[in-house]
Amino acid sequence: MSKDGYVPMFGAVEIKKRDVSYDLMAVYMAPQGVLPISEQLRKRMQGRACFNFTRIAEGLLAALSDLTRRSTTVVGSSSREHPVMPRCGRLRSPTHAAG
């Protein structure tokens, strides 16, 4: 969490009717070449940071796991360090969340 109370978005998974989308913001944020993406994964890219899957081919999950692990080095501790990174919102303490 940053000093201003925001948490930078790392990624998201959305299960849809026909496929699963995996959004990884570090791929969008990283300068080209910092996070090499395998050809197998690149074929499933939709836009700059989204991967769509209908089936998981051999080795695809391992490649996605490796890319996700390497992505942790790109995402900073503050969304202000990366102005293109969306914010998920402020975290509230349990007392504020209840009321």
52-61 pLDDT, tens digit per residue, is: 999 988 889 9
- Tell me the residue range of the domain where 78 lies: 6-90
Q: Is residue 95 part of a domain?
A: no
- Tokens representing 32? 């080209």
23 close to 53: Cβ distance less than 8 angstroms: no
Between CA 44 and CA 40 the distance in angstroms is: 7
Q: Is residue 99 part of a domain?
A: no
Q: Is residue 98 part of a domain?
A: no
Q: Is residue 57 part of a domain?
A: yes
Q: Is residue 96 part of a domain?
A: no
Average pLDDT over residues 34-58: 90
Domain count, the chain: 1
| Residue 33 pLDDT class (50, 70, 90 cuts) | confident
Q: What share of the chain is helix, strand, coil (3-state, %, to 5)?
A: 30, 25, 45
Average pLDDT over residues 8-20: 89
Q: Is residue 1 part of a domain?
A: no
- Tokens representing 65? 């796991």
Q: Is residue 31 part of a domain?
A: yes
